[in-house]
Each structure stands twice: as C-alpha cells, then as structure tokens.
Amino acid sequence: MDRKGAGSGLEDLLFYTITQGEDKISVGRFISELESTGLLTSDPRLRDCMQQLHQAVHESAGTAMMNQELFRKCAGSNIILLTQAFQKKFIIPDFMTFASHINKLYYNAQTEQGGQVANYIPQLAKFSPDLWGVSLCTVDGQRHSVGDTREPFCLQSCIKPLEYALAVHEFGTDHVHTYVGKEPSGVTFNKLSLNEEEKPHNPMVNSGAIVISSLLKPGFKKAEKFDYMMDYMKRMAGGEYVGFSNATFQSEKETGDRNFAIGYYLKEKKCFPNNSDMVSALDFYFQLCSIEVTCESGSVMAATLANGGICPITGERVLSAEAVRNTLCLMHSCGMNDFSGQFAFHVGLPAKSGVSGAVLLVVPNIMGVMCWSPPIDRVGNSVRGVNFCQELVSLFNFHNYDNLRHFAKKLDPRRQSGHERNKAVIELMFAAYSGDVSALRRFALSAVDMELRDYDSRSALHLAAAEGHLEAVKFLTGTCRVNPHVKDRWGNTPLDDAVEFGKDNVVEVLKEYQSIYSHTLMPEEISTQAHGEAAVDADDLGNMETLERFV
C-alpha cells in the first residue's frame, strides 16, 4: 500500500481509518461500522452511498469487498456526514453505549402490567396489551429501535401538537390564539369547557384541536385538506411510514357523540372562524386522529420538533422556529392530560399522549422519542410509556431543570467521559511511540488534537521522531500538519530528539518540514505554540506515567 498517498484527502483518511490501514474492507464490516454510529442504511442522506454498495454486492462473485476506489464512489456525496459519524461529532458520540441503556429501560418498563387497552372503539380494543415499542431519532439522524416498532397505530391525540404547529407555521401565533388559549384546562381532555374568554383552554384538549382543524386550509375541499395534511406528516417523518385507518375513522364518527356535543357547544359560543362548517371541522379532526404511524416514523416526527422544525434525515425545514417553540411550550404544560403537571415535575420534557397508547416525547436539541404500548391508565396515558419517560430522565440529565454542571449522579450522553479522553491521549502517545500509522489515522479522524502533550510536554511527534518511525513522522507532518517547533520540558524539539538518537532519515524530513512550516505560519503563532502550556493538565494524565517504561 502506498501510505504516502493515503492521507492525500479526507476520503483517503476516512477510508484508512475505517479499514485500520488495510487496502480493503468487506462491505458487511463497513455497514456494521456505520450502524455503530447510529446511522441506518435506509437514511435518505446515504441513498447514493447505499446504491453503490448494493451494485458492488450484486456484481461480486464472493464476499463483496470495498477498496479505495469504491469507497470514493460511495462516500463522494456523503463525505461530510460520514466524517462526522466516524469522528463521533454527532450529538450522542458513544451511541452504542447509549442504545444499551435505552434497551435496559425498555425491558424494565416491559414488566409494567397496569392499565387497560382503550375499548371505546373496536379498532383500538383489538391490540394486544403485550405490544411495546420504543424508537428514538437524534437531531443528527442517529436511530435506535427496540420492541414492536414497526406495528402501525393511530396517533389519536398525538396529532394535536402536530396540527397546532402547522397552524402556527401557516398563520402565525396571534391569529391562531385568537381562537384558542394557552393555559392548562384543569379538566379532562374531552370536557365541555371553555376559558373565561369563551375559547378552548389550549390546543391539546379536544375542543382546542377541533377549532384548530377548522383553521387549516379554509375553503379547501375535504380531500384536498386531507392530502395536504398527509403530505405535511410525511415530510415531518422524513418520508417514512404514514398511513390512514379508514376503519378507525368510521368508528370515530359513529361513536363520537361527545365530540359532536363539543362541536355544537363551540358553534353556539361562536368559537369557529366565520364561514366555517362545524361538521366538516369535526370530520377532518376524526380523520387526523386516524392517521397511522409506527414508532420508527413517529420518532422522526418528534426529532423534527427537537431539531427546531428541520427534519434530521432529510434536512428539510418543515416548520418555523416560532411554531416549534410554541408547540413545545404547550406540550410541556398541557400534553399529558390530567397528568401534565406531574409529568412536567418529574420528567420536565415536552410530551403528548394518545389513547392508542402512544407517547410522543421531545428532548429539545437532542432527540425525539416515540413510545407505544396499548394499555393506558385512567387519564389516558400509556402506562409503560410514562414509566419509560420517567426512568429515562432519572438516568440521563435530560430534565429541563437538571443542572448540567453539578448533577453528578446522572449520565450526560452528549459528552465523552474524562476517562475516555485520558485513554485517548495515552493511546495517541503509544501509537506514536510504536509507529502505528493506522492508529494515528484513527485518532486524527476522531478529532483528537494531534498536538496533545504528555506530562513531560512531549508530543506525538517527539515520540515518533525519537524512535525513528519515518511513516508516522510523515503522517503527523504531511497530513496532520502538527507544529514541529514545540519543546518538551527539557527544551528539545522533535528534530532535537531525532538528532540525539541518530535517526538520520527522520532528521531530513523534519528539517524540510520545519522550513515549510516556518513560512506558512506567523512567527508569533509559532512562538505561542512552541512555548505554550501543555495541552493536557498533569492531573488529568497522571496515569500516563505508565508510558515511562516505553520512552
């Protein structure tokens, strides 16, 4: 392998990092490495990459192998995304560990046996009480699912925040709240009750959602309004599954006496916009409640809210920032029916439940979660879903009011532990000492500072030069462009070490590189880097003394 050309570009660096310096890698192993970052092969952003891989597998007689040329074809249009993934630059860097924690929470919640499956219509009553699924999608498009996550179910009341967000996106906050309030109602979600201004209390109760339904696309025919809403939902889900249960829709109309009563009450109080048809608004509302998703597609919808209205897996802005902010505020205060106050207290995150057993949970700026299990409690919330949300916040510092600096007992999946950082520095120094260019490539791609220094202020270049590892020195200078003028605590540069230990081949390379480097950086920058403090505190690297036996 021509290692001199291995670092000629980001694609080459990425390739040799994944292959650990080998000339090729099996397609299966590449996909496994990719999925360990949280990305799925079905991710729309990776469509071109996967098409190239599928073609290679189809044309291969045996085990499909990926060489440098095939990798360039696959990664060409996805190089930024793939580099972020393998550099662990996503919001959850150690995704496999995080996913294992999610699995434990899932299986713990599975033991919950309380609640009853909703039975006011046959289509809800038919679901097994043992069904239980959890899917999550981060704002970077990392995905994890466990359980019955591909079983379609109706959104029911989980549609309320989504239709409200669309209304605000289309018409603005002031117009929408001319017709609905913003306060928790203090009564059940299907109560015939208005606030003191004779408006529905908020968009998360039935009366508010029915009024919101009348605001969307006024003057449009029923079929056009439904198509419009389905298109919006599919964009929220990044093109993943969104369906419609006509049987549920028909049953909702046949058994919807309470909602019809609410509709006529709203009509009597003149809560609808002028020229609105109450029956049509109710019909549209029943349709919206009968829209189907899976946990997997629902988690992308939640992640779109978590990502400020931009779908993580397509990059499309679906909702305005204003619409998302308002929606999350109302989900936080009103989303969990009569349990909203306790949920806000214990979980501290925006969420919306539905009588189908769904819980749509948003962790702002981090991820969206869809939980689903049909057994619900007396206020209409999924028993397992609520348990999962509570335990999630007990384990991770996701509660809105967790102090990120001083809440030491909770895990923060957004950052790597100090132990991991110290371990990375130790491994970087050992890789330089042993001349392991593959390991050095891996560290460079993982965004490790290649100029980090040990307790003696020696850099990786010091160690590689002292040991005479020419290829390692070439990689650190030619690809990583590290500073060759840094001095250790004895005042020696990497060139000084190479001279002292008689590594003539390295001496020539370093002399040439120093000359080039000195002309590409300002003198004051060189001086600052050469005489600055060690990049890592001695306290953090106390255990690096284990390297003393090597150098």
Distance, in Å, from the CA atom of 253 to the CA atom of 285, rounded to the nearest integer, reads 10
CB-based contact 13:445 (threshold 8 Å) = yes
Which residue, chain included where needed, has tokens 């480097």?
517
Q: What is the DSSP string of 162-213?
A: HHHHHHHHHH-HHHHTTTS--S--SS-TT-----TTSS-S-TTSHHHHHHHH
Q: What are the structural domains of the chain?
A: 3-86 (1.10.238.210), 115-395 (3.40.710.10), 418-549 (1.25.40.20)
Predicted confidence at residue 417, as pLDDT, reads 57
Q: What is the pLDDT of residue 400?
A: 85
Percent of the chain with pLDDT over 70: 89
Element (H, E) at 243: strand 243-244
Instruction: Give me 352's structure tokens.
Output: 């919306």
- CA distance linking residue 35 with residue 379, whole number of Å: 39
- b/e 306-320 (16+ beta carbons within 10 angstroms → b): bbbbbbbbbeeebbb
Q: How far apart are CA 464 and CA 484, in angstroms?
A: 12
Give yes or no for residue 538 having a pLDDT over 80: no
pLDDT at 249: 96
Predicted local distance difference test score (pLDDT) of residue 376: 97
Average pLDDT, the chain: 88
Give the list of residues 6+ apart from residue 138 with CB closer than 8 angstroms, or none: 38, 90, 91, 92, 303, 306, 312, 366, 367
> Count of CB atoms within 10 A of residue 419's CB?
10
Q: Residue 525, Cβ neighbours under 10 Å: how many?
A: 12
**In a 10 Å sphere around its CB, with 0-12 CB exposed, 13-18 middle and 19+ buried, how is residue 348 labelled?**
middle
pLDDT of residue 404: 61
- Residue 239 is predicted with a pLDDT of 97
Q: At 371, which helix (H) or strand (E)?
A: strand 367-372
The pLDDT assigned to 314 comes to: 97
Write the pLDDT tens digit of every residue in 389-400.
999 999 999 998
CA angle 133, 134, 137 (to 5 degrees): 145
The reported pLDDT for the residue numbered 540 is 39
Beta bridge partners, 67, equal 24
Look at 199 and 195; give whichever has higher pLDDT: 199
> Could you tell me what percent of the chain has a pLDDT over 90?
65
CB 185 within 8 A of CB 259: no
Maximum mean pLDDT: which of 17-21, 168-172, 182-186, 398-402: 168-172
Reduced to 3 states (helix: H, G, I; strand: E, B; else coil), residue 405 is coil
Model confidence pLDDT, tens digit, residues 369-409:
999 999 999 999 999 999 999 999 999 999 988 766 665 67
Q: Rounded to whole angstroms, how far apart are CA atoms 86 and 340?
A: 39
- On the 0-12 / 13-18 / 19+ scale of CB atoms within 10 A, 524 is exposed
Q: Give me the mean pLDDT over the 487-500 stretch.
A: 93
What's the average model confidence in pLDDT over 134-158?
A: 98
- What is d(CA 128, CA 374) in angstroms, rounded to the nearest whole number? 7
pLDDT tier at 522, thresholds 50, 70, 90: very low
Cα separations in angstroms, 178 against 164, 168, 327:
13, 12, 16
With a cut of 60, say whether residue 111 has pLDDT above it: yes
Coil vs helix vs strand at 370? strand
**pLDDT higher than threshold 80 for residue 79:** yes
Torsion-angle region of residue 273: left (phi > 0), alpha (psi -120 to 50) or beta?
A: beta
Q: Average pLDDT, stretch 275-284?
A: 94
Helix (H) or strand (E) holding 230: helix 222-236
∠ CA(152), CA(155), CA(157), 5° rounding?
160
Q: From CA 313, how far away is CA 185, in angstroms rounded?
A: 36
Identify the weakest region by mean pLDDT among 155-169, 300-314, 407-421.
407-421
On whether the pTM is more than 0.85, the answer is no
Using CA atoms of 248, 254, 259, 263 in order, give the dihedral in degrees to the nearest 10: 120
Q: Which residue has the tokens 């043992």?
A: 130
Report the run of H or E that residue 447 belongs to, with start and end: none
HSE at residue 491, side-chain half, CA atoms within 13 A, is 0
